[in-house]
Amino acid sequence: MINFIICEDKPELLKEYKNQIDKFMMKYDIEYKCHTFDCYDNKWKIEINKIKGFKIYLLDIKTETGSGIDAARLIREEDDDWVSMIIMISGFQEYKYEALGKRLMLVDFINKLDHSEQKLKEALLICMKNYDNKYKSIKYTYKSIAYNIEFRNIIKVEKEIDSKRCNIVAVDGIYPIQGSLNDILTKLDKRFFKCSRGVALNIEQVQSYNFTKNVAILKSGEEFRDISRSKRREMFNRVRGVG
């Protein structure tokens, strides 16, 4: 679930931003919801903390009841949320350098008067790339059970011996999935590395790799040795981020 949290005190602009988001999200098969506010009051502070899932904020930099810069500081520093995406929108260009200079990890500062629709689209594309990297998942059905497993939580995918299925080994359990390892890899992304005939490893789950010993240490502390000798160099390069 992607949550778009919009704060804008002008109703016509609030409606316009929501329409632009709806139009943008038409090409994505992802569940989303827009939450709209017209001020930064206590209700806003309470409600944003109730919202669960990936958050993309569109914050008006100046309203009658508060500042978008202060709101962004609350999100980052008080709520300790450095994952959510924040887009600042304003008709006051003079606030741009103040907003960007606060080190609040803003995606963009958009001037309402300067091709704002196109710039909002570009900023949303950046947000979606971040969402894909963090929250992308594999969705499938096996024996009447529907599964939705986030890529980031998958440690490895293993071919089951003498079977036409594999097992997804995740941080919270093991899940069966029908198909060959190669078939399943087509549903995953580039973070998964087929390091032997029967195993694909999530490189993001690797803490370190010893090229000489051909042993990877996973973030869980487990040793991983199922790496073909012919894959050692590629494994080494993938772990160090150049493969």
- The SS3 call for residue 72 is helix
CATH of the domain at 179: 2.40.50.1020
Q: How many residues does the chain have?
A: 243
In terms of domains, do 97 and 163 share one? no
Instruction: Name the packing angle between helices 116-135 and 11-25 (round to 10°).
Output: 50
Domain holding 91, by residue range, is: 2-135
CATH of the domain at 131: 3.40.50.2300
d(CA 102, CA 61) in angstroms, rounded, equals 13
Q: Which of 135, 158, 177 is the last residue of a domain?
A: 135
Q: Name the token pair of 85.
A: 């995406």
pLDDT greater at residue 8 or residue 92? 8
Task: Write out pLDDT tens, residues 61-90.
Answer: 877 788 888 899 889 888 888 889 999 887
**Confidence (pTM):** 0.62
Q: How many structural domains is the chain composed of?
A: 2
In terms of domains, do 147 and 223 share one? yes
In terms of domains, do 101 and 201 share one? no
pLDDT greater at residue 190 or residue 5? 5
In terms of domains, do 109 and 152 share one? no
Q: Please, what sign has the CA dihedral across residues 100, 101, 102, 105?
A: positive
Report residue 98's pLDDT band, with 50, 70 and 90 as the boundaries.
Answer: low
Q: Which of 74, 109, 135 is the last residue of a domain?
A: 135
